[in-house]
Amino acid sequence: MAIPVIDFSTLNGDKRGETLALLHDACKNWGCFLIENHEIEGKLMEKVKKTINSYYEENLKESFYQSEIVKRLEKKKNTSDIDWESAFFIWHRPTSNIRQIPNLSEELCQTMDEYIEKLVELAENLSELMSENLGLEKDYIKKAFSGSNGPAMGTKVAKYPECPYPELVRGLREHTDAGGIILLLQDDKIPGLEFFKDGKWIEIPPSKNNAIFVNTGDQIEVLSNGLYKSVVHRVMPDKNGSRLSVASFYNPIGDAIISPAPKLLYPSSYRYGDYLELYGKTKFGEKAPRFESIKNMANEH
Ligand SMILES: [Fe+2]
């Protein structure tokens, strides 16, 4: 089973409809996909990976291997509730905290700022395509995520360090993501990410050519009334190398009120007799407009 690939370069040509259909299917049936030709420069993405890898080597690696997690794994006891990862969070929007994080070089901060600016554009572009595919206003997801000062954008920077006993521990235990749209810049050599689909774990290979891996979080599932899915995933550690994961999330801000888009909800609380009457007049038409009419009638009562 191959992960769906969304080629952004086709969105302005005759293949737009086909690409939108592919994206809709990926959001419904996979909860994840790859984006190619996203127009974020490869050079910039390489620099993000390089500066973060150096930061890990210089500031985090040693303390990770001295941590309690490592001691517990060496004793080979009680390893089911630990994650073999070295991670930290950065907030970018609405306000950035990147310069408050200890020991991040100005080069890393500037590189991340530049990368995130492009990534917000990509996330918003994607949120518009997803809104369009759901039959909602183009800016529906953005507005729903906005609250008083949003949407929010943050990044979880993680390394999944080389692990002597990968069979005893997870890099990151099975979970779904809480938020909205997650855009992942990941390692180009070391694998480890896995998504659960149709009863099986699917390995997501390392990203080639700086393709961005996207998955949708719980809020997209709720907002789409379950049409789009947030899918369970995990990270497996590797015996032969450390995996880099730079996961940026385009999320609702804390005070955003989330609910299923009313347009996507089934009608409710109507008299069946009213339905039948309408049905008599619209039997040979599409059922979606009939549902819309019934919703309006139910609202009037
Ligand atoms: Fe996740």
Q: For the chain, give the number of residues.
A: 301
- d(CA 276, CA 274) in angstroms, rounded, equals 5
Q: How many whole angstroms from 9 Cα to the centroid of ligand 1? A: 27
Q: What is the DSSP string of 149-188?
A: T--EEEEEEEEE---S-GGG-BSEEEE--SSSEEEEEE-S
From residue 8, alpha-carbon distances to 15, 36, 37, 217 in Å are 10, 6, 5, 21
- d(CA 209, CA 50) in angstroms, rounded, equals 15
Q: How many whole angstroms from 176 Cα to the centroid of ligand 1? A: 6
Quick one: average pLDDT of 20-31?
A: 98
- In tens, the pLDDT along 30-75 reads 999 999 999 999 999 999 999 999 999 999 999 999 999 999 998 9
Structure confidence at residue 301 as a pLDDT band (50, 70, 90): low
CATH annotation of 5-251: 2.60.120.330
Phi-psi region of 65 (alpha: psi -120 to 50; beta: other; left: phi over 0): alpha
Q: How many whole angstroms from 98 Cα to the centroid of ligand 1? A: 21
Q: How many whole angstroms from 277 Cα to the centroid of ligand 1? A: 48
From residue 3, alpha-carbon distances to 66, 104, 108 in Å are 37, 34, 31
- Mean pLDDT estimate for the chain: 96
Domain boundaries, the chain: 5-251, 266-300
Structure confidence at residue 254 as a pLDDT band (50, 70, 90): very high
User: What's the pLDDT score for residue 298?
Assistant: 74
Q: Of 159, 185, 146, which is closest to residue 53 (Cα–Cα)?
A: 159
**23, 130 contact by CB (below 8 A):** yes
